[in-house]
Amino acid sequence: MLVSILLTILIGALIGWLAGMFMGVSASFIICCIVGIVGSFIGGLICQLLKIKGGMVVTLIFDVIGSCILIALLKAFA
């Protein structure tokens, strides 16, 4: 469980940076990492709600989707 959480945080940081580049966000690296970590959890929740079981690639895809959703919401309210 702890390894899974730590791996989610690490991958979420990288995903947030990639999602920030993809969405055209000019925020700092740290902010993009935080958004990616939260977006990674959102992507995991989406995956669980849709009852999608898959490997690492499916998880990464949903993490990117979750991060992009979060960035879009932050842009909408900014």
**Cα 45 to the chain's mean position, in Å?**
11
* Structure-block tokens of residue 12: 């979420």
Q: What is the pLDDT of residues 50-60, one digit of tens each?
A: 888 877 788 78
Is residue 2 within 8 A of residue 54, CB to CB? The reply is no
Task: Please tell me the pTM assigned to this model.
Answer: 0.74
Would you say residue 33 has pLDDT above 80?
A: no
**Cα 20 to the chain's mean position, in Å?**
10
Which of 30, 14, 31, 11 lies closest to 71 in space, CA to CA? 31
